[in-house]
Each structure stands twice: as C-alpha cells, then as structure tokens.
C-alpha cells in the first residue's frame, strides 16, 4: 500500500527509536523523558488496584468524556468555570492529536516556539499544518516575533509549553504570560497550553497558567505521566464546552474512551492523603539530581558549554559551540551515553543551535556524574 501523503514527511521520533539502544547494557541514558521508576507511587495505588476486581462495572464500556467521579474531581480541583468541561484522554499526547484532528485543516497556519516538543511537531505535521516558528528566549517566546506572526492573520492556534519547556526547561515569566494572553485575545488565536511538567517545580514561586488570563481563548492539556506513572496513559484536556464537544466526537472515533479502571485508580491516587508527600519527595529528588548534573557539567565540561538554570521539569539544555550535533550525539551513544541532539526539536532544517537535551530524572547521581564524564571526552573531540 502507498503511504498517506500526510505521513510522507513525518520523521519517526528519534527519541523513541534510540530508546532500545539507550536501554542497552552499559549505556547511561539522559535521552528519554522518563520519570524515576523507583519513585512511582505504586504503594499508594496498591489498595485501589487490588480492589478493582470488586467493581466489575469499571471494566464495562464507559463514557467517552471519562469516568464521571474523576471528571467531577477535576472540575473542583482545577476550579473550572461553569462554562468549561474536561475530557480524559489516553495521555496528554492523545489530547493534542484530538485537537489537531478537530480544529486543523491541511495548510492551516499554527504557531510554535522553536525549539519545540517533538511529539507536537509530529502531530501538527500529520495534520499537514503549516508551522510558523517563533524563537524562544530565557523568559518565554520572543513577543515581537509572536505579535508579527499573529498580525499576519489566519493563525489557527499557538501551541506552547510555558512550564519547564521540553526541551529547554524554560519557564515563562508572569509578564510574558499576561502579554501572550492579551495577544491571543486581541488576534483571536487559541492558545494550546501543554503543562505536563507544571507540578514538578522544585524552586521559585508558582506562576499562574497563561490560560487564567484568557480562559475562553485556550485549551489546557494536563498529563498524569510525570506525577503518577506514564504507563497508565492518562491525560486531561479542559476548556470551553463548545470546544470540548468536537474533541469528544473525535475521541469516539479514535478509541471510544480511555481505560476506566485506570481512571478509578488515578482518582484514588490523587485523593490519597499521602499524595502531596509523594509530590514533595519527587520534587526534592529531581532538585537534587538536577543540581548534581549542573555541578558535574560545571566541573567537567569545557567552559564554552552553557546551561540555563531551571526551576523544575526534567531537562537541561546544554548549549555548545557550532558543531555537527547529530554526529556528536551518535558518538556519545558509542561512548556509552545517550542524549538528544537539538536538531530533533526543530522542523526540517531550521536548527541553527547546537545543543543537547539532557534528562536528569531517570539516572541516579553516580550515573549522572559518569554520563557527564563520558560526554566531556566526546564534546572535546567534536567542538
């Protein structure tokens, strides 16, 4: 069979492709966005999991929008306005896909920061959208570029990860959030606010969601992969009811509904009295690992390697002098450390930054130190 046109220009995910190589014996992986497995809150889920068999109705077909008690919890917990609804999806990745299918026609213009989350580049590529890139600064997108882009007209949506961006770790300032919200309202552009790392703030002050400043011009995507476990594959889209309804229609066609037993387990977990302690422990662990990685980079890598300090999330963005970053990442893998080159996070050949995305949540402190030592040799050879 011939490949559909929509698939012909889509690169398979570099990260998913090297995941098996990265998991080989002797390789230390800073490549995937994997949470620390030893910290999965399985003990808090245990009663709920073993109780499932007492509730056969949870194993019946369920509602597309999600398990009703969980949806009710979300409405309260996230203080959704009465005109807004939630839709539980199979990971926030599915939420993004549903949005693209419901609201994007081929050649529609959408805006993203560059660099950007690879999974979003793939989704918008499959939807055959025209992606307009806006450069990213230390406190969020370049606002002049963003306004110029919006002012051309015909922009369907602006996709953004304002909290601890993947891949750069950047967190938007309050002023940038307010300005972006104002621009979305002024130019009637919908913001897709993707916040899978929001609960992983380990320093600094919490900043309101951008959507708080433009609730009727935004959809929020949340993920439970990083604070519960990725394997339960649960996420949430919230926003205006008239925008959630079409997402529900697309989801009916995609998979009918997400796993109801897992949604029941998630609800128990989120309401567990020890869940806040679990989050606190996770933040502390990630703060320590992040600091270990920074200390090792500072002591072991040449001074031309630069990093932005991050206040949360899972990644550091290591900026290098101009070099063949793909060759460097390959050489790093051969030397026993898996990292992701910056080229992966840009559309086609737009990558002008030589950088590596380094994950600090999955390797322990000794492994992080050893990984940087291996990386140091490769960087000195390539830069």
**For ligand PLP, what does the binding mask look like between residues 120 and 159, x meaning CB under 6 A?**
----------------------------------------
Closest approach of ligand PLP to the CB of residue 53, in Å: 27
Rounded CA gap, 203 and 313, in Å? 10
Question: What residue is closest to ligand PLP based on CB?
Answer: 91
Instruction: List Cβ neighbours of 29 (8 Å cut-off, separation of 6 or more).
Output: 22, 23, 337, 338, 359, 362, 363
Residue 263 touching ligand PLP (CB under 6 A): no
Q: Pick one of 41, 119, 169, 341: the residue that binds ligand PLP (CB under 6 A).
A: 119
Rounded CA gap, 190 and 181, in Å? 9
Closest approach of ligand PLP to the CB of residue 67, in Å: 17
341 has which bridge partners?
Answer: 356
Residue 92 touching ligand PLP (CB under 6 A): yes
Residue 91 touching ligand PLP (CB under 6 A): yes
Rounded CA gap, 22 and 337, in Å? 8
Q: Pick one of 131, 161, 180, 207: the residue that binds ligand PLP (CB under 6 A).
A: 161
Residue 258 touching ligand PLP (CB under 6 A): no
Candidates 140-148, 222-230, 293-301, 369-377: pick the segment binding ligand PLP (CB under 6 A).
Answer: 222-230
Rounded CA gap, 105 and 78, in Å? 31
337 has which bridge partners?
Answer: 28
Q: Is the dihedral of CA 134, 137, 143, 144 positive or negative?
A: negative
Residue 167 touching ligand PLP (CB under 6 A): no
Q: Pick one of 64, 225, 342, 343: the residue that binds ligand PLP (CB under 6 A).
A: 225
Phi-psi map region of 107: left, alpha, beta (phi>0 left; psi -120 to 50 alpha): left
Closest approach of ligand PLP to the CB of residue 299, in Å: 29
Rounded CA gap, 250 and 127, in Å? 14
**Binding region for ligand PLP (CB under 6 A):** 33, 91-93, 117, 119, 161, 166, 194, 196, 223, 225, 230, 235
């Amino acid at each position: 069979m011939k490949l559909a046109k929509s698939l012909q220009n889509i690169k398979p995910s570099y990260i998913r492709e090297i995941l098996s190589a990265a998991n080989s014996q002797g390789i230390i992986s800073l490549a995937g966005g994997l949470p620390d497995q030893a910290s999965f809150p399985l003990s808090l889920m245990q009663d709920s999991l073993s109780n499932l068999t007492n509730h056969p109705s949870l194993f019946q077909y369920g509602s597309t929008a999600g398990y009703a008690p969980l949806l009710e919890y979300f409405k309260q917990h996230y203080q959704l306005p009465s005109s807004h609804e939630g839709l539980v999806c199979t990971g926030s990745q599915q939420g993004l896909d549903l949005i693209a299918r419901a609201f994007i026609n081929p050649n529609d213009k959408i805006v993203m920061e560059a660099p950007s989350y690879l999974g979003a580049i793939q989704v918008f590529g499959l939807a055959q959208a025209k992606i307009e890139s806006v450069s990213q600064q230390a406190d969020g997108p370049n606002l002049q570029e963003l306004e110029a882009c919006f002012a051309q007209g015909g922009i369907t949506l602006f996709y953004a990860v304002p909290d601890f961006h993947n891949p750069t770790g950047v967190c938007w300032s309050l002023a940038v959030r307010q300005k972006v919200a104002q621009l979305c309202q002024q130019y009637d552009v919908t913001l897709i606010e993707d916040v899978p790392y929001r609960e992983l703030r380990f320093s600094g002050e919490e900043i309101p969601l951008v959507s708080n400043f433009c609730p009727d011009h935004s959809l929020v995507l949340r993920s439970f992969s990083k604070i519960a476990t990725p394997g339960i594959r649960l996420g949430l889209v919230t926003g205006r009811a008239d925008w959630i309804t079409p997402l529900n229609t697309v989801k009916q066609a995609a998979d009918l509904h997400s796993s109801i037993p897992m949604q029941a387990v998630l609800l128990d977990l989120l309401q567990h009295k020890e869940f806040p302690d679990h989050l606190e422990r996770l933040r502390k662990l990630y703060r320590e690992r992040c600091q270990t990685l920074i200390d090792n980079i500072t002591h072991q890598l040449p001074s031309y390697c630069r990093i932005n300090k991050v206040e949360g999330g899972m990644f550091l963005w290591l900026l290098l002098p101009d070099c063949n970053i793909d060759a460097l990442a390959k050489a790093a893998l051969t030397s026993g450390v898996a990292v992701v080159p910056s080229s992966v996070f840009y559309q086609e050949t737009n990558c002008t930054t030589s950088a590596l995305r380094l994950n600090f949540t999955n390797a322990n402190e000794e492994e992080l130190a050893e990984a940087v030592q291996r990386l140091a040799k490769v960087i000195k050879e390539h830069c």
